[in-house]
Structures are given as C-alpha cells and as structure tokens.
Amino acid sequence: MPFVANPINFANLAAKAVPTNSDVLLIADAADSGILKQVDIGDLPFAASPGTNVVDVTTSTQQMVVNTTYWVKYAGGVCTLTLPTAVSSSLGDYVEIRGGEAASDPWVIAQNANQFIRDLTSVTTTTSGTLTADNEFNYIRLECSATSGGLSWTVVGQGGSFTGA
C-alpha cells in the first residue's frame, strides 16, 4: 500500500531560500512499504557533485567561469550568460546551465570575441554568436574543446531545444 501523507499545516515553519547539501529531507521509500526515511539533499541524484561550484543566477546577466553549474532563476525577463573568456579556459573545462523554478523566460548563452559553440549539426557564428534556450527549464553542458584556449565550446549534453545564431 502506498504511503499517503496526512495534510499538515506548516504555516509556522520558516522557509529556507537556499538549501545546502547537508540539509535533511524525509521521503517515503516506495521500495520499503512507504516507510519514512531520512536523506541528505546532497545524496539525491540531482544534487551537485561534491566540489562542484553552483551559482544561483538572479540577475539579467552573468559572466560564467569554468567548472561551474548555473541555475537560472532570474524572473525579470531573458537572462544572458556569457561564456568564460578564452584566457581562463582550457581543454576539458565545462559550464552547465539549468533553468530554475523562478525563471520567467528562456535564457541565452553569449560568446566573447572569436568564440563559438558547436553541436553535432551546427556551429554558432564567431563574431557575436548566441545559443538560445527555447524553454526556461532547458539545460545544457558545454565543454571547452580548444587546445589553445577557450575559443571552441562543444555541447556534450542537453535537455530541450536550442537555437544558434
């Protein structure tokens, strides 16, 4: 029999704006007759990997740095995230962008001079190219694929559709 929670009034509990990996949740374990069990947020499969830099983006622009995951939570329109500079990027560095619950519009990845983003079938322009998410909840992972600095970025994973320019 599945676990059914009784409705409880949590009106007097304080809200936490930014959970940490050590925060604890109670879950109903479906594989164990719905018994409530404790789990740390950091142990959940969608939690950031240990040592991963995670940034909540709540402004209209964000300069990205390598080896960081960005959660776009800007609610004021389109958010533009700019790739790390070529000087600060090396082969294998990554950036990951995920749409967050507070996002109100799709987001855009902008490039610096002479950079481009490549996927299996297309490449953005190198002068002022962009990659635009078609939905605010899309996600993408880009890896630096240039051996002499971060001019070339390759899509290695994505959810949703993107339009390159």
Distances (CA, A) of 58 to 34, 42, 103, 114, 142: 37, 22, 9, 27, 21
pLDDT per residue rounded down to tens, the chain (165 residues): 444 444 455 555 555 555 555 666 667 777 778 787 776 665 555 555 555 689 999 999 999 999 999 999 988 889 999 999 888 888 899 999 999 876 678 899 999 988 989 988 888 888 778 999 998 889 999 999 876 677 899 999 999 998 887
* C-alpha distances out from residue 60 to 31, 32, 66, 73, 122, Å: 43, 45, 19, 10, 27
Q: In which element (H, E) is residue 146 found?
A: none
pLDDT of amino acid 146 = 76
The sign of the CA dihedral 131, 73, 98, 114 is: positive
Name the DSSP class of 157.
E
Tell me the three state secondary structure of residue 43: helix
pLDDT value at residue 129: 86
Sketch out the chain's domains with CATH numbers.
1-47 (no CATH), 53-164 (2.60.120.640)
pLDDT (0 to 100) of residue 22: 61
